[in-house]
Amino acid sequence: MKLPMIETINIHYAKTHFSKLITRVESGEEIIIAKSGKPVARLVPLDYREDRVPGIAEGRLTDAFFEPLPAEELDFWE
């Protein structure tokens, strides 16, 4: 079992870099937030994950999917 990486950061850094911290937590890290050097909160990943259900999409993928797009379609995307 791999132990989570834990880092302690101050509140100002947490407010400034919250999105980056959430990304790190999503990858399994645990982060302690401190105020005046004393731990006050902990960011941890949730164990909640929905199971994927394969094959719920309607239709079929044909060889036409892999063919190059027509020029007028490519022009539309540029």
Q: Supply φ then ψ for residue 40, to 5 degrees.
A: -125, -20
Domains with residue ranges and CATH for the chain: 1-46 (3.40.1620.10)
**Residues 52-78, mean pLDDT to the nearest whole number:** 83
Confidence at residue 47, expressed as pLDDT on a 0 to 100 scale: 80
**DSSP H helical ranges for the chain:** 11-16, 18-26, 71-77
Q: What is the pLDDT of residues 19-63, one digit of tens each?
A: 999 999 988 899 999 999 999 999 998 887 777 777 777 778 888
In our burial notation (b when 16+ CB lie closer than 10 A, e otherwise), range 22-46 reads eebbeeebebebeeeeeeeeebeee
Q: Global pTM? A: 0.54
CB atoms within 10 A of CB 12: 9
